[in-house]
A and B are shown apart, each in its own frame.
Chain A
Amino acid sequence: MFRAAAKGRDLQLENAGLVGGNEVFQDRETGSRWQQSSQQAISGPLKGERLELYPFLLTDWAEWKRLHPDTVVLKPLPGYADRIPERNEMIRQGLSGEGSAPAGVLHEDDRLRPKTMIVGLAVGGSDEAFPLSVLRQERVINQELGGQPVVVVHQPSSDTTTVFIASAKGARLKFRAANADATELLDEQTKSHWNPYGECISGTLKGSKLTALILEPEYWFAWSEFHPDTEIYGVTEPKR
């Protein structure tokens, strides 16, 4: 998810097929083509420009409604509404990691299976992929990336991942889960309690808010072909 604007200009985008098995969009204003996984223009007058990621939360309906009871919902167009149950089934199956890479993938990185679901994080020129299966196990990961301390939080019950710069009031913090589902966290330095959305709910840091970073949930094949130098959390095997 990104801002549809580049070089101070708003863009209207259309689907423009696949490159490397990954979606490409074309803007009406300049005809430039934009790669989803890298957010970069791969052809046209804006080639090399990058669209800025926009903050979003990938979660389940129950959790989103709990967070935002007044939420509105995108209305399905006629016809498309009928396909929702089968689509949800396809999306569930897509989380299994099974299956091979689509045709046309630019280069395969066999450190993970191609359809392993990961969340990608790019900070300060460094990229790291966190496999969903590892996140479900570890739930809270304290990590250094691109010279920044980050904390990645995963709530298995809703498969919701969030990530933050792990510091508040100038102090670097290390977190751990305060319950089995990581719906509450504890920082080791002040023993303050936090929710998984970066808000301190009790303790000496109460009221503090961590700076959120934007994750990119993707299949491994798509993340790795456009982030070739990516690290993988929990995998030390060097790239072949």
Chain B
Amino acid sequence: MKTLYLLPILLIALGTSVAAQERAQPRLPYKAVHDPQFIPASAATFLHGPDRVIGVVNGGTAKAYPAAILSQHGLVEDQSPSGPIAITW
């Protein structure tokens, strides 16, 4: 019985330490992306109407590079029909 009473307290304690870890998450490397992968617009649920994007049309394909991703990498390299391009923020 005693264990059952303790369980909720333990869970709360665990939750608090996870939240603390998230706040203290390490900086991610500011590193260029050389092999960008793309998803359909319908899958980009992290994007909202007012969010800034850099848009490019390449040989009939439209690509959006969200500023919120670009600014974490500084540089994304991609291909265009006429050679490599660098998308920077």
Which residues of A does B touch, CB under 8 Å? Answer: 1-5, 10-15, 23, 25, 36, 51, 54-62, 64-65, 67-77, 79-81, 83-85, 87-88, 90-91, 159
CA distance A226 to B87 in the complex (A): 19
CA distance A91 to B57 in the complex (A): 23
Q: Name the interface size band of chain B.
A: 35 or more
- Given A72-B40, A74-B63, A91-B67: A13 and B86 within 8 A (CB)? yes
Contacts of B76 in A (CB 8 A): 74
- Please determine whether B66 and A62 come into contact, CB atoms closer than 8 angstroms: no
- Please determine whether B83 and A61 come into contact, CB atoms closer than 8 angstroms: no
Interface of A is mostly: mixed
| 10 A–B pairs (Cβ distance < 8 Å), ordered by A | A1-B88, A13-B77, A14-B32, A56-B55, A57-B54, A60-B51, A75-B36, A75-B39, A83-B28, A85-B68
Contacts of B84 in A (CB 8 A): 3-5, 10-12
Min distance, Cβ B55 to any Cβ of chain A, angstroms = 4
Min distance, Cβ A89 to any Cβ of chain B, angstroms = 9
Q: Counting chain A CB atoms within 10 Å of each CB, which of B32, B34, B52, B84 scores highest?
A: B52
- Please determine whether A54 and B85 come into contact, CB atoms closer than 8 angstroms: yes
Contacts of A87 in B (CB 8 A): 67-69, 71-72
Of A57, A73, A76, A90, the residue contacting B40 (CB under 8 A) is: A73
- Please determine whether A73 and B64 come into contact, CB atoms closer than 8 angstroms: yes
Min distance, Cβ A30 to any Cβ of chain B, angstroms = 15
Is B5 interfacial (CB 8 A cutoff)?
no
- Please determine whether A80 and B28 come into contact, CB atoms closer than 8 angstroms: yes
Which residues of B does A touch, CB under 8 Å? Answer: 28, 30-34, 36-41, 43-44, 46-57, 61-77, 80, 82-88
Contacts of A11 in B (CB 8 A): 84
- Please determine whether A61 and B51 come into contact, CB atoms closer than 8 angstroms: yes
CA distance A106 to B65 in the complex (A): 30
Min distance, Cβ B16 to any Cβ of chain A, angstroms = 19
- Please determine whether B66 and A57 come into contact, CB atoms closer than 8 angstroms: no
User: Closest chain B residue to A54 by CB distance?
Assistant: B85
User: Closest chain A residue to B71 by CB distance?
Assistant: A87
- Please determine whether B46 and A74 come into contact, CB atoms closer than 8 angstroms: no
User: Closest chain B residue to A78 by CB distance?
Assistant: B28
Of B28, B38, B74, B88, the residue contacting A74 (CB under 8 A) is: B38
CA distance A166 to B5 in the complex (A): 77
- Given A14-B32, A60-B50, A61-B49: A71 and B55 within 8 A (CB)? yes
Min distance, Cβ B87 to any Cβ of chain A, angstroms = 5
Min distance, Cβ A11 to any Cβ of chain B, angstroms = 7
